[in-house]
Amino acid sequence: MLSEQARQAIRIQMERYPDSRSALGQALYIAQDECGGWVPPEAVRDVAEQLGLEPADVQSTMSFYTMYHKTPVGKYIVEICHNIACAVNGSPALFQVMEEECHIHPGETSGDGLFTLKGVECLAGCGGACTLQLNGMYHFQVTPERLREILARCRAENGSASLYSATYVPERTGQG
């Protein structure tokens, strides 16, 4: 499933560490990037093979960290905090906006494929509640009106990837 280019990128990451397992996070980012934003089971097997791990090891890492996606996702991943600080400051209203504007609930992707909504336990932005992340970029003190503006901007850009993406691949950032 993974291309030779992706496999080579994983090998480059493996060379950075004394133990190839340490490259698992980067390998998953590479696989996710190549597979359109998620890591299908075939790619899990390829990553495991490349790193000399069992597929269960790769799956356990994917299950622990929220930045790896096991199912197809939209071009924009909206993660809204629903922990206490955000909840008392209005995060339920943000979920309502997502339902009204995108017709989705947490765990769903909009019909146009633009948005995937996730409810998350904490984004460590309590001082700026309500907090959300959009493709890894933090937005603080988000109101329903501001969320509508963010969604409109995303729609206008139609997934053109001009917004920040949290996918980290050192070769793309000049840090590799």
Q: Per DSSP, what are the bridge partners of residue 119? A: 80
How confident is the model over 14-60, as pLDDT tens digits?
Answer: 999 999 999 999 999 999 999 988 999 999 999 999 999 999 999 99
pLDDT at 134: 93
How confident is the model over 121-164, as pLDDT tens digits?
Answer: 999 999 999 999 998 889 999 999 999 999 999 999 876 654 44
Domains belonging to the chain, first-starting first, are 4-70 (1.10.10.1590), 76-157 (3.40.30.10)
Higher-pLDDT residue of 112 and 173 is 112
Distance between CA 119 and CA 91 in Å, rounded?
Answer: 10
Reading the block at residue 9, the tokens are 């990128």
Q: Per DSSP, what are the bridge partners of residue 174? A: none
Reading the block at residue 102, the tokens are 């995108």
pLDDT at 5: 96
Is it the case that residue 77 has pLDDT exceeding 70? yes
Is it the case that residue 90 has pLDDT exceeding 70? yes
Cβ atoms within 10 Å of 134's Cβ, excluding its own: 23
Burial of 160 (0-12, 13-18, 19+ CB in 10 A): exposed
Q: pTM value?
A: 0.76
Q: What are phi and psi of 95, to 5 degrees?
A: -65, -35
